[in-house]
């Protein structure tokens, strides 16, 4: 089950909200959320819930042991054991095939690589549980004495399979005590409907076009224009898809009294790669910063050690996105870009970076998305060569022109949706009416109309099109 399915939008979510709001206490509401969360998660495979329960139990008892221990040595030992255990589970399910493929390439053993099914969302909830245990060790949060509460934090269907990665410290109070308001319900549904349209209408359309332009069967003789158009469509799709699920998760959280952190902040307007990663998948970036980069020493070390720290962080960031060589290369690619920015451009002439940043950064990001898309290295090389017509392909073809022309409106709207233009315009309109004392009513009316419109066109799109890819299966 995914957020952008008719079953979820028209039945699962409404039923959850009806039962949720009919309960008289937070405790009863939490039971409703946990029951619906477990049903939602088991929809992809009933056995997967056992992995989540195992991780939650390990971290529950691990945190209890850390909290009860007096010596720092014991606390650290329990931390290492707990984090090591849940990471071992993650590595087994997500990276066994990748590791054994590398071993086989070198040694020829094993003959058969086991096909292990990846539990959906395991990377997200594993990182959430690690952050909880680490924060208990640091003394930044109190130990959760209720396994039920910790399981709800782990399994909450809003964000357990697609993020954002929510730290326990962010929602610990709201898990047991939160205020439900009409304003929160209204803002949450506006955010959810906006995210739904972003996914069902825009992201799916861009994904379909990207698949058509970059199809493996035709990639070898596709024109340069077709490949560039495909990369452009994929660049739009990857942001719209990721941010749409975050919008929907944040919206459902608001509607039920939770306040999840923002996960995307219009990253394609960035003037540098550093800025891009401050705006892109913010919860993941901050996780690696706080739980990997800073414990390694951050930038308060020698230049050589700092570069090593950056390499470790970005190599792991790449592998987190998928157990494949292309994702490791994608992480290393950003490591190289960030080292160049910090030690060449910023050190010698930071102004130059700002001058050329608006032009070069989007191009560098688009190249990165090519690494992200093509898991087959031969296809990646073919695509790169095709851009420069090194495959014996043409620079331009009429089919590409016709396909772009017939989809120019949806591509234009998708491009605008990746920019903060709508948000800025809405802010200016609100400021205009605020001076006349009517800002709240105008904004509420417009948001309600816009949300209903988004919901209607999303349902129409989902009814009329079976193409609804779910990028998060690899996580």
- For 336-371, what is each residue's pLDDT tens digit? 999 998 888 766 665 666 667 778 899 999 999 999
Structure tokens at 314: 């970005």
User: Domain check: are 154 and 204 in the same one?
Assistant: no
Handedness of CA 261, 53, 120, 8 (dihedral sign): negative
Residue 473 is assigned to a structural domain of this protein:
no
Residue 10 is assigned to a structural domain of this protein:
no
Q: State how many domains the chain has.
A: 2
Q: Phi, psi at residue 300, to the nearest 5°?
A: -90, 45
Residue 443's pLDDT is 78
The helices-and-strands tally (H runs, E runs) of the chain is 22, 0
Residue 401 is assigned to a structural domain of this protein:
yes
User: Domain check: are 283 and 396 in the same one?
Assistant: yes
User: Domain check: are 425 and 301 in the same one?
Assistant: yes
User: Domain check: are 55 and 154 in the same one?
Assistant: yes
The DSSP output letter for 345 is I
Residue 159's pLDDT is 84
CA–CA gap between residue 259 and residue 184 (Å, rounded): 10
Structure tokens at 432: 């205009």
User: Domain check: are 77 and 43 in the same one?
Assistant: yes
Residue 143's pLDDT is 94
User: Domain check: are 393 and 422 in the same one?
Assistant: yes
User: Domain check: are 326 and 389 in the same one?
Assistant: yes
Catalytic residue check, 348:
no
User: Domain check: are 173 and 79 in the same one?
Assistant: yes
Of the ranges 42-46, 310-314, 433-437, the best mean pLDDT one: 310-314
User: Domain check: are 138 and 233 in the same one?
Assistant: no
User: Domain check: are 320 and 437 in the same one?
Assistant: yes
Please give the angle made by the CA atoms of 126, 281 and 86, to the nearest 5 degrees: 10
Owning domain of residue 59: 20-178
3-state secondary structure of 157: coil
CA–CA gap between residue 13 and residue 398 (Å, rounded): 45
CA–CA gap between residue 426 and residue 266 (Å, rounded): 16
Q: Please classify residue 47 by burial: count the beta carbons closer than 10 Å to its beta carbon, then call 0-12 exposed, 13-18 middle and 19+ buried.
A: exposed
Choose one of 178, 204, 228: the last residue of a domain. Answer: 178
Residue 373 is assigned to a structural domain of this protein:
yes
Task: Using alpha carbons, select from 132, 260, 80 the residue that is nearest to residue 188.
Answer: 260
Structure tokens at 190: 């506006």
User: Domain check: are 216 and 167 in the same one?
Assistant: no
CA–CA gap between residue 154 and residue 177 (Å, rounded): 17
The DSSP output letter for 266 is -
User: Domain check: are 162 and 269 in the same one?
Assistant: no
Residue 6 is assigned to a structural domain of this protein:
no
Alpha-carbon dihedral angle through residues 205, 206, 208, 212, given to the nearest 10 degrees: 140
Residue 4 is assigned to a structural domain of this protein:
no
Q: What is the mean pLDDT of residues 178-184?
A: 88
Residue of 221, 259, 306, 321 marked active site? 321
Residue 306's pLDDT is 93
Please report which residue ranges of 198-223 form alpha helices under DSSP H: 204-213
Residue 470 is assigned to a structural domain of this protein:
no
Choose one of 147, 178, 209: the last residue of a domain. Answer: 178
Choose one of 118, 151, 178: the last residue of a domain. Answer: 178
Q: Which range among 138-152, 387-401, 404-418, 461-475 shows the weakest confidence by mean pLDDT?
A: 461-475
pLDDT above 60: residue 324: yes
Q: Peptide bond before 110: cis, by omega within 30 degrees of 0?
A: yes
């Amino acid at each position: 089950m995914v957020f952008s399915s008719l079953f979820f939008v028209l039945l699962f979510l409404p039923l959850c909200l009806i039962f949720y709001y009919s309960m008289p206490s937070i405790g009863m509401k939490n039971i409703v959320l946990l029951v619906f969360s477990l049903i939602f998660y088991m929809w992809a495979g009933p056995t997967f819930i056992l992995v989540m329960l195992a991780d939650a139990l390990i971290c529950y008892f691990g945190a209890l042991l850390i909290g009860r221990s007096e010596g720092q040595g014991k606390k650290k030992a329990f931390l290492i054991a707990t984090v090591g255990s849940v990471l071992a589970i993650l590595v087994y399910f997500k990276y066994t095939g990748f590791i054994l493929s590398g071993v086989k390439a070198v040694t020829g053993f094993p003959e058969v690589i086991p096909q292990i099914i990846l539990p959906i969302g395991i990377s997200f909830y594993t990182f959430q549980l690690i952050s909880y245990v680490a924060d208990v060790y640091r003394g930044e949060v109190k130990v959760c004495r209720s396994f039920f509460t910790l399981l709800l934090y782990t399994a909450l269907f809003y964000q357990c399979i697609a993020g954002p990665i929510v730290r326990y410290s962010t929602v610990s109070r709201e898990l047991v005590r939160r205020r439900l308001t009409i304003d929160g319900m209204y803002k949450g549904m506006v955010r959810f409907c906006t995210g739904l349209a972003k996914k069902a209408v825009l992201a799916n359309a861009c994904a379909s076009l990207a698949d058509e332009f970059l199809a493996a069967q035709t990639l070898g003789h596709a024109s340069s224009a077709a490949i560039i158009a495909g990369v452009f469509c994929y660049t739009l799709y990857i942001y719209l898809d990721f941010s749409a699920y975050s919008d929907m998760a944040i919206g459902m959280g608001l509607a039920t009294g939770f306040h999840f952190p923002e996960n995307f902040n219009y990253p394609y307007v960035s003037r540098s790669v550093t800025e891009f990663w401050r705006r892109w998948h913010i919860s993941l970036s901050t996780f690696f910063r706080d739980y990997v980069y800073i414990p390694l020493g951050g930038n308060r070390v020698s230049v050589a050690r700092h570069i090593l720290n950056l390499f470790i962080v970005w190599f792991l960031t790449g592998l987190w996105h998928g157990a494949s060589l292309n994702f490791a290369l994608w992480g290393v690619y950003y490591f190289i870009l960030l080292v160049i920015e910090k030690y060449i451009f910023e050190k010698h002439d930071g102004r130059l970076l700002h001058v050329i940043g608006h032009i070069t950064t989007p191009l560098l990001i688009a190249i990165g998305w090519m690494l992200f898309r093509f898991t087959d290295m031969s296809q990646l090389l073919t695509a790169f060569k095709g851009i420069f017509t090194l495959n014996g392909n043409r620079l331009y073809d009429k089919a590409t022109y016709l396909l772009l022309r017939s989809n120019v409106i949806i591509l234009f709207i998708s491009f605008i949706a990746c920019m903060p233009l709508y948000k800025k315009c809405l802010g200016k309109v609100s400021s205009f009416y605020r001076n006349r004392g009517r800002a709240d009513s105008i904004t509420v009316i417009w948001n309600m109309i816009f949300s209903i419109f988004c919901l209607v066109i999303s349902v129409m799109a989902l009814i009329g099109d079976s193409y609804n890819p779910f990028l998060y299966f690899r996580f």
